Structure 1
Amino acid sequence: MSLPHVDAPTNRRLPVRTLGALSASVIAFPLAAGTAEAATLPLPKPSRTLPSALDVAPPYQPGTLCLTENQVGPVAFAKLLDATYGKHVWGVLRKCDQEHGEGRALDWMLNAAKSSDLAMGNAITRWLAAPDAQGRQGAMARRVGINYIIWNRQIWKAWAPERGWQAYTGSSPHTDHIHLSFTWDGAVKRTSWWTGTAVTNYLTGPPGTEMPTSNDPRDYVKVTLRRGSRGKPVEVLQRSIGGIGVDGSFGPATESRVLGYQKEKGLTQNGIVDSRVWNAIIGAPSTGGTTGSGSTTPTTSALAKYAGTVLRKGSRGEAVTAMQKAVGGLVADGSFGPATEARVKAYQKSKGLPQNGVVDATVWAALMGTSTAATGSTGSSLAKYSKVVLRLWSRGEAVKAMQKAVGGIAVDGSFGPATEARVKAWQRSKGLAADGVVDAKDWKVLAGGSSGVAASTPATSKPSTSTPATTSTELTAHKGSTLRSGSAGAAVKALQRALGGLSADGRYGPATQARVVSFQRAAGLTATGVVDRATWDAVERSVHPLLAHWNTVLKRGSHGAAVVALQRALGITADGSFGPATETAVKAAQRAAHLAQTGVVATVTWKAVEGRAR
């Protein structure tokens, strides 16, 4: 699949001067066909004299932490843009959301449907990505400390500038804002734009967590590598696993070798080098009752003091260390990173718990060999709730009684995503429709009655329309919100982006209401203009038509409805049989999305195919 270049033919191309370290103060840039001619706009000016040397370009630096403050670099750059172009709405920190979750991604709001905003967005982004007078690609992006840019359905990557601007097919087209992801050096204003001195050794995390420079793989256990990574850690990896050239660049050949190494060691074959792969390389234990440091599994009494502590990605401290020792298969370093989260999810799966990667009272109870299921919920005490229908975001005593009865979940009277996941798992175990809604049929079984369905036979009386328990989209966090005229905030903005044809300003006005009514009619819903759970679900399915299959793994030899859906999305004969032709088409889609070409369809590939089909 060819990717359209950003500089596609336009009505008129105006000359653009090459941008040097201290180049011209204005830039002329062509707009898309059908809009006004390009505006001549000022460019941001540095407060320091820029050196001739250019800052090093680090590999992709994904966000993995849950931090609580904006980093100074994105804030300073947002203020610089405001000073240059006039005040705009902008935002940085979003809770546990990739680089936004680390306070190092900036969303600077513009509307690409407006010719003036389009010209401004083009001017800013192309100035950052352009070569300087010496022909060095992305010179200004490297000086500012930008890792990648997304704007108006296109993405540019500082670690691979030779690819130029590529089509971006993520859930948000980024037509209402420029997304600037900062490197850690840019995040803390350590780059030449701010200091006048070029960075030569880049940060890999918050200051104080710099990348090691040794040749000992034991020093890299906390470093995660994947395709696109570069530098010393990749060299150490390549030397350690052998069978590959040592060039410090994690490309397709290295990824293929990593996949082979993971298979040899019985590890998850995802091509990503995390602590499990490093531990295999250095010979540290990956399973069993001891940790990578050799300490034994904590006793129940040692864990009890942490039972009230909730841990998730980004947590640190003694409680994390104790948990890591208890679940096993991890280096007990007290840092809850991606490898720990993956191990927690695997542990939760083994215990039949919701696989959310969060260590709460239920997980601590399992680690201590106890149970959170209450014994006081008898059939008679549940009977009074038989006519009560519970679903996501319900609250009260009925929710508490249900939580006690199903067990394996905190009893807090709040029907949140974790409770919904547990209810679905319980329903599946009882042969009920796993829709996460507790109604009369479910209360009857909870009270000790029969479901009337063999446990191995899925019920069909309540077809599920909800998102699978282990699946989430950009809309999932907002589906508990009811929106109507006058509503405002992040949920409204997410809705507007999903519906399309609207300015995503976060305000539920007449235009948004009219768009909702139109959508509801088209979806066969009651056209109220009020966005309830049914409307959220329908919007989510329209944005993600393959969502129901994201948790289904397909490969050669698979059959059925999921294969038909896959084949239709790929544009090939939909016969429901995953044969060589389907495998070839899958590999082509994976190649186009820069994924490992395994021919196996799991969540990431489903999403890539879905984005291609839209």
Structure 2
Amino acid sequence: MRRATLFRLLDKPVRKAVLLLLATTLSGGVLVAAAPASPAAIVVPSLKAPAGLLSPIEPLAPYVEQIACQPGYRAGTLALGRMLVATYPNTSFGGPRDCGADPSEHYDSRALDWMNSVRNPVQGMQAYMVVKFLLATDRWGNTFANARRMGLMYMIWNNKIWGSWSGKWEEYHGCFSTPQPAYDTACHRDHMHFSLSWNGAIGRTSFWSRHVWAATDYGPCRPSDLNWSGDYGTFRPTPCPRYRKVSAPGGSSPAMQELVKYSGATMFPGMRGGPIMAVQRAFNKPITGRYDAATVAAVNRFKAARGLPANGIIEARTWRALLAAYKPRS
């Protein structure tokens, strides 16, 4: 019979001010908590909600998938990271990530990784306190109150994912069966992942602004002929049209297939990632993944020859010109 996971402790009362040090072990792929022979008292601080909050609150944030390439920090994402590190100075955080083929809110500035290890008993308790804070019911009876006020879509920690779509913890990618330390990053045992809604990432939600944003921001939309959207522009209160993924035509070269995969992602000089590699492959440039001066020059020559502004930016018009140039000839 499977023993209780750390997160199941959320259903039990926690003593005031002092929490018992937990010795963590792995059993059956699930982190379990057991009191040490001589429990040591540890004071573990909690995150604090801002003053002045009232009973009105946002609904749980629906899942809005990443379709833009705009890595960096947005106000809400950065504020969350800073709050975590200010409360727990023995930790760190990171957010931006070079754009790749797999969907990730790291690519559009809506995701944060908080570096905090379950194998460290103190940090494990810190994570427990963060989860407790986010999912607690507030004094007005609002469930998952701080998660809703922050615009949290989902979080992943210690083999499990909590999603706003269900309000439940579920196993993450078969991690119960991979307790080995080699899987700590993939199973989020050495960090906790947070993905935010557009409202939460931008900092509009009541946790940061004191103003309740009940309307969902669906972010940028991709056109039907490209696989990625352009950069985030303004608040969009309606869902994007749903299109099938664009596939390369039969007989396409590997370069064309890569271009189609990343088509639509806005690229500026200095950026990195998969879309840049696709363009470099198409122009027969060294595959560095960096939008360097040589690649910018090649893009500008290509754009100028087609009457497009030679400004180094790869946007929807440039992608369409690239796809037209590299499509297989019948």
What range describes the TM-score normalised by the shorter chain of this pair? 0.5 to 0.7
**In the alignment, which residue of structure 2 is the partner of 1:111?**
117
Distance 1:102 1:62, change over 3 A: same
| Partner of residue 166, structure 1 | 170
Shift of 1:144: 1.5
Trace 1:26-45 onto structure 2 (pairs within 5 A): 28=19, 31=22, 32-34=32-34, 36=36, 39-45=42-48
**Counterpart amino acid of residue 188 in structure 2:** H
State the alpha-carbon separation in 2 of the partners of residues 415 and 68 from structure 1: 20
Aligned to 1:65: 68
- 1:165: how far off? 1.7
Structure 1: which 5+ runs fail to align?
18-23, 213-219, 224-273, 276-338, 364-408, 418-614
Residue pairs, 1:330-341, within 5 angstroms: 339=244
Say if 1:29 and 1:119, in contact at 8 Å, map to a contact too: no
Find the counterpart in structure 2 of residue 88 from structure 1: 91
Separation in 1, partners of 2:46, 2:147 = 13
Determine the structure 2 residue equivalent to 1:75: 78
User: Hey, what does 2:58 align to over in structure 1?
Assistant: 55
Change (3 A) 1:200 1:207: farther
Instruction: Quickly say closer, same or farther: Cα 1:109–1:412, change in 2 above 3 A.
Output: same
Partner of 2:284 in structure 1?
Answer: 412
Asked if 2 retains the 8 angstrom alpha-carbon contact of 1:51 and 1:192, the reply is no
Contact kept in structure 2, 1:109 and 1:178, CA below 8 Å: yes
Counterpart Cα distance in 1 of 2:189 and 2:217: 31
1:101 aligns with 2:107: yes
Partner of 1:386: none
Q: What are the superposed Cα offsets for residues 372-403 of structure 1, whole Å, 9 maximum, x if unpaired?
A: xxxxxxxxxxxxxxxxxxxxxxxxxxxxxxxx
1:33 aligned counterpart, secondary structure = strand
What one-letter code is carried by the residue in structure 2 that aligns with 1:116? V
1:16 corresponding residue in structure 2: 14
Match in the other structure for 2:195: 181
Question: What is the SS of the residue equivalent to 1:210?
Answer: coil
* Match in the other structure for 1:203: 217
Distance 2:3 2:195 in 1: 22
- Measure the CA separation in 2 of the matches of 1:126 and 1:186: 19
Is contact 1:108-1:177 (8 Å) kept?
yes
* Partner AA of 1:202 in structure 2: T
2:301 corresponds in structure 1 to: none
1:135-154 superposed matches below 5 A: 135-154=141-160
Report whether the alignment pairs 1:46 with 2:49: yes
Question: SS of the counterpart of 2:85?
Answer: helix
Task: Return closer, same or farther for 1:27/1:102 CA change in 2, 3 Å cut-off.
Answer: farther
Pair 1:194-2:208 in alignment: yes
Give the superposed CA RMSD: 3.4
Q: Which residue of 2 aligns with 1:448?
A: none
Q: What's the secondary structure of 1:147's corresponding residue?
A: strand
Q: Distance in 2 between matches of 1:117 and 1:179?
A: 15
Paired with 2:284 and 2:5, the residues of 1 have a C-alpha distance of 52
Counterpart for residue 162 of structure 2: 156
Structure having the larger proportion of residues in helix:
1
Deviations 1:172-230 (A, max 9, x none): 11011111111111101111111222222121114514123xxxxxxx5x33xxxxxxx
2:98 maps to amino acid: K
In structure 2, the partner of 1:352 is 252
Q: 1:132/1:5 Cα in 2 relative to 1: closer, same or farther (>3 Å)? A: farther
Q: How does 1:237-386 map to 2 (within 5 A)?
A: 274-275=242-243, 339=244, 342-343=245-246, 345-347=247-249, 350-354=250-254, 356-358=257-259
Q: Determine the structure 1 residue equivalent to 2:135.
A: 129
Letter in 2 for 1:125: V
1:46 deviation in Å? Answer: 3.2
Q: Which one-letter code corresponds to 1:175 in the other structure?
A: R
Question: Displacement of 1:111 after TM fit?
Answer: 1.2
Conserved 8 A contact 1:125-1:149? no
Deviation at 1:142, TM superposition (A): 0.6
Distance 1:168 1:4 in 2: 17
1:148–1:156 contact (8 Å) kept in structure 2: yes
Letter in 2 for 1:151: W
Structure 1 residue 96, shift from structure 2 partner? 1.8
- Measured in 2, the distance between the counterparts of 1:180 and 1:410 equals 35
More strand by share: 2
User: Which digits, 9 at most, give the CA deviation of each residue in 1:50-94, with x for residues without a partner?
Assistant: 111111223112211100421111111111112212152210111
Higher relative contact order (Cα pairs below 8 Å, separated by 6+ residues): 2
Provide, for residues 248-293 of structure 1, a one-character-per-residue CA deviation record: whole Å limited to 9, x for no partner.
xxxxxxxxxxxxxxxxxxxxxxxxxx23xxxxxxxxxxxxxxxxxx
Helix, strand or coil at the partner of 1:41? coil
User: Which segment is superposed worse, 127-136 or 34-43?
Assistant: 34-43
How far apart are the structure 1 equivalents of 2:153 and 2:49?
A: 19
Q: Percent identity, aligned pairs only?
A: 28
Q: Please tell me whether the aligned partners of residues 61 and 148 of structure 2 are also in contact (alpha carbons under 8 angstroms).
A: no
**Amino acid paired to 2:116:** L
Alignment partners' CA distance in 1, 2:111 and 2:259: 24
After superposition, the Cα gap between the structure-2 partners of 1:197 and 1:211, relative to the gap in structure 1 and judged at 3 Å, is closer
Amino acid at match of 1:33: A
Question: SS of the residue aligned with 1:166?
Answer: strand
Query: After superposition, what is the alpha-carbon deviation per residue over 1:100-135, rounded to whole angstroms, capped at 9, x for unaligned?
Result: 001111101011111001111111122212333444
CA contact (8 A) 1:99 1:181 kept: yes
Q: Where has structure 1 moved over 3 Å in runs of 4 or more? A: 2-10, 26-32, 34-40, 133-136, 413-417
The 1:15–1:112 alpha-carbon spacing in structure 2 relative to 1, beyond 3 Å, is same
Q: Which residue of 1 aligns with 2:177?
A: none
Distance 1:57 1:413, change over 3 A: closer
